[in-house]
Amino acid sequence: MQYSAVITKKSHGKSGAIPRLTSLVGAAVAAAPVAAQQAPKPVELPQVTVTGDSGFKAESSSSIKNPEPLRDTPRSITVIPQELIQSTGSTTLTDVLRTVPGIAFGAGEGGNPVGDRPFIRGYDAQASTFLDGFRDIGAQSRELFNVENVEVTKGPAGAYDGRGSAGGSINITSKAPKLGNFAEGNIGVGNAQYVRGTADGNWQFADHAAFRLNAMFHDQDVAGRDAVHQKRWGVAPSVAFGLGTDTRLTLSYYHMQTDDIPDVGIPYNNPAFTARRDGLPRTRQTGDGSPVNVPRSTYYGLLDRDFRKDQADMGTIRFEHDFSPALKFRNQTRFSRTNQDYIYTQPDDSKGNIYYDLLWRRVNTRYSTARTVANQTDLSGEFLTGAIKHKYVFGVEFSQEKSENDSYTVDTGNSSCPNGAGAAGGYNCTTLLNPNPNDPWRGSIARTNNPTNAKTNTASVYLFDSVELNKQWIVNGGVRFDSYRTSFTAARAANGSRAEYSRDDNLFNYQLGVVYKPVENASFYMSYGTSSTPAGAFLAQGSDPNGLAPDRSGNRGDQLAPEKNRSFELGTKWDVLKNRLALTAAIFRIETTNARIVQQDGTAAMAGNKRVDGFELGFSGNLTEKWAMFGGYTHLKSELRNNGGAGSAFGQSNGQAFPNTPEDSFSLWTTYQLLPNLTIGGGAYYVSKIWGNEGTNKWVPPYWRFDAMAAYRINKNVALQLNVQNLTDKTYYSQAYTSHYATVAPGRTAVLNLNLRY
């Protein structure tokens, strides 16, 4: 993509270390010129013109386990580059993942009510989200101020990532120090009292050492939604030694805090009518399971009660040494701590109150801490066996993950709302059509101080080899073994005892792919991969569908084996238009052969079966030097083939679609350089109907959303960019919860950014 933002400047250090030109989002840090003067004077090279030709097209994966170019990798991998993040005006992980079709977003309680919960090809990926290759277990809403790119890998990834990853995984790559000096900053203002500022400075303070600092402040209401508010700040310093040499050491730290009024969404028009006992006249007909038809601004929470405060801290140490171009060593260690603290109102639809224009303000609470210590060691390289070339990675990983989950005890009154709305019910009940978030709620709140505790220890070993048989054929294989031990300690019972549950599993997963290249710029491939989802796999996330502790029927997860998933994929990848544009297509099947289900007698068993068949198309890059695009289309046919069910419910959901799995999804983002200094762009996104539960009686309707962008470069250091999201001010629902409610998306949001770069 070209914004014609051609910058001619003196570069420092090696030519390969010239800072990339980002698409109009730059920034200013006043100290940069001073720092540049104080740094040791580097060798000055000739002037270099940077034009940003790479645009939206990525050439390779960020993972060393994928050594071939994306075109020659036998998997569906979508890389969201920095240029696309900036062009779309995305600030959160959820924002930018909307550019990837085949991903839906779920809402949940039990630990992750309003955080990131992506579903990839029909499978929950919240526990398969990684940061710089480390599993990022804390339930949270992830920011992009310190993100270089985001990579989505589709299909079971057990050989690559370990447990889970049935539908795919997400890896976020952090910004890192580099040789050279630059400083950039951004100030954004918009409707709904939007204010945001970011800064990104890189200072080379020695011949082979640099320091980088990223910082962010964000404060806004949410367009079209009453009372909802988002506020956060973050900082991410990092320092690197040995840049441009064979031995490198990088130290980094990340901190972010949020202080929000959470969005509680809109209740479903519950088709399961529950009659009241007090004879109150019914005012509504039985619903169809979609959200209640109320104004988008309707907010059912309580400002005197609701809050959400999250904090994430992590430190990373990375050591790398190149013995030779064909033999490289890497060791990295991550320490992380994530804290989640919230009370939020869930608009409850389960008591039948909505048919009398009443709503019970059900409460969900959590005070939790998740901690991780992880270490990875990789040895990668190349060698020949005769005329056959091998690119390999051998590695080991050790991790310990812990979580402590506590809650609040909150006075919520009578769920049947016998006293109606208002003061008589302590404001725990409100009207369906005219709730007041400023109701003077005066109930009691107290920490329970009776937490549950979970811990998982994992030791892993893996090996990957990409074998180039000749110029036309590549065979790619990988295996991974995980020694997995997890335990759960329940909250203290009335007699003071705490029940304990644990399970040990050995997980073996593998991947095999074959690539045929008829010409240099194209490939056809077949691949097969597996993954395993053991009990406790969703530690520190939302509710675990395969938890260790007994469910409501007394079924214990510690007595159940891991779920097994497998995937077949057939695809093709082409680089066309002089390699400016990448085109991809794939057909696939993902099958879970022993899903956890409840049998007719009420006991649990690993006897279920579910399947997703689908195909997808993708494109990224430039049609011309001035016209860039990114996006694709995904079709998913999901089916619960054997979903069990206790008693009369046995088999009733067989043949139904998966929750949070749209049959069709489409995304397109495109930009065009009208004038040397002016670029315009826009996006179109479509998501078909989404079911919220397996019973297919809660759902959100399909929608189209349109965005627009215009960017103007004033000079080489200053640019303006206007982004308008939800251009038509469409009311639509972005997340469907299993029961009770759906999350309504923001209305039209316009943000003007002043971007500076030096």
Mean pLDDT value of segment 107-129: 79
- In the chain, where the domains are located: 70-757
Residue 45 has a pLDDT of 34
* Mean pLDDT (whole number) for 526-538: 92
Band the pLDDT of 130: cuts 50, 70, 90: very high
Q: What share of the chain is helix, strand, coil (3-state, %, to 5)?
A: 5, 55, 40
Rg of the chain on CA atoms, in Å = 26
Please report where in the chains the tokens 């008829």 appear, as a residue.
Answer: 518
| Top-confidence residue, 502 or 3 | 502
DSSP-derived secondary structure for 337-348: EEEEEEEEEEEE
**pLDDT tens by residue, 483-516:** 999 999 999 999 999 999 999 999 999 999 999 9
Instruction: Say which residue, 542 or 191, is predicted with more confidence.
Output: 191
Is residue 307 within 8 Å of 367, Cβ to Cβ? no
12, pLDDT greater than 70 = no
Average pLDDT over the chain, rounded to whole?
A: 89
Q: What is the pLDDT of residues 634-666, one digit of tens each?
A: 999 999 999 988 887 888 889 999 999 999 999
**Mean pLDDT computed over 684-712:** 94
Pick the CATH number of 70-757 from 3.40.50.2000, 1.10.357.140, 2.40.170.20, 3.40.50.620: 2.40.170.20
Residue at 707: amino acid letter: D
What's residue 40's pLDDT?
A: 41
pTM of the full structure = 0.90
Q: Are 657 and 682 in contact (CB under 8 A)?
A: no
Residues with Cβ within 8 Å of 496's Cβ and at least 6 positions away in sequence, in order, are none
Find out whether 456 and 484 touch, Cβ atoms under 8 Å.
Answer: yes
Is the pLDDT assigned to residue 273 strictly greater than 70? no
